[in-house]
Chain A
Amino acid sequence: MDIVVDLLKAFAVGGGICIIGQLLIDFTKMTPGKVLVLFVVAGVVLGAVGVYEPLVDFAGAGATTPLTGFGYALAKGTRQAVAEKGLLGAISGPFSSASVGIMAAVLSGLVVSLFAKPKDK
């Protein structure tokens, strides 16, 4: 039963965050690229001021899967890196926290481009 509740929480919070994105696209005519930048920066800021952490505790993947969660992970990772390495951590932290996401996307992009081609619509 707990599992179902967890899944529902993730569904509701994740879907809710997506609605915010949809409203921005439909109403402000912001290009998707700008919306994504806004989301990741918002994630870093909310993570930094400690607002995003409780949301992650509550919704799990519902909060970590959207790009705001990516931003939150950057803030969290950077904080840990600063705690461990001092000022150097402010430089090394962001990229190391983003490394899994970026590398997975880069590798899959490279592999896929070896065998697939874009198709006409």
Chain B
Amino acid sequence: MSISNEEYGRMAKRLSPNSPVVTDCIKAFIFGGSICAFAEGLNIAFSYTSMTQEESKALTMIILIAITAILTAFGVFDTIAKHAGAGTMVPITGFANSIVCSALEFQTEGRILGTAAQMFTIAGPVIVFGCSTAALYGLIIYLFGLY
């Protein structure tokens, strides 16, 4: 008697424990929310300086990326992310981590073909699809005069 793929798929699903969704979501909310509140705090602080809004937003982003890079370098980021899940992945910190961790991992294959070439293995698709969608949007508003 031989089991069908569908039947086995159901069996495997039944015996495979699910991710603890509720805990995961609570942690993602707290970590993600905290990162965003921290960024908002920076924005507010910068609003008391002579910086323009654009400058202060850029500086906030740079600070978040720099902190991520340092935490990644010291091997701490992944320990936090293990708990935070989407809470650290969805904010810009996840994007920065994906670039920095690839740069670190592939340094053994050299600065050029390792670090530099592999830097975008995870983040590359985000840039390709993000920028291409934006370019498509630009084309549409240009053609229909919507800008």
Direct contact of A and B (CB under 8 A): yes
Residues of A within 8 A of B (CB): 3, 6-27, 32-33, 35-37, 39-41, 43-45, 48, 59-62, 64-71, 74-75, 77-79, 81-83, 86-87, 89-91, 93-95, 97-98, 100-102, 104-106, 108-113, 115-119, 121
Interface set, chain B 100-147, CB cutoff 8 A to A: 100-105, 107, 111, 115-116, 119, 122-123, 125-127, 129-135, 137-139, 141-142, 147
Residues of chain A with a CB closer than 8 A to B134's CB? 44, 71, 74-75, 77-78, 93-94, 97
Q: Is the CB of A70 within 8 A of B130?
A: yes
- Nearest Cβ on chain B to A13's Cβ, whole angstroms: 7
CA distance A117 to B122 in the complex (A): 18
Residues of B within 8 A of A (CB): 18-19, 21, 24-25, 28-37, 39-44, 57-58, 60-62, 64-66, 68-70, 72-75, 78, 85-87, 89-92, 94-96, 98-105, 107, 111, 115-116, 119, 122-123, 125-127, 129-135, 137-139, 141-142, 147
Closest to B116 in A: A110
Q: Is the CB of A100 within 8 A of B40?
A: no
- Nearest Cβ on chain A to B72's Cβ, whole angstroms: 7
- Nearest Cβ on chain A to B101's Cβ, whole angstroms: 7
Q: Is the CB of A94 within 8 A of B138?
A: yes
Q: Is the CB of B39 within 8 A of A65?
A: yes
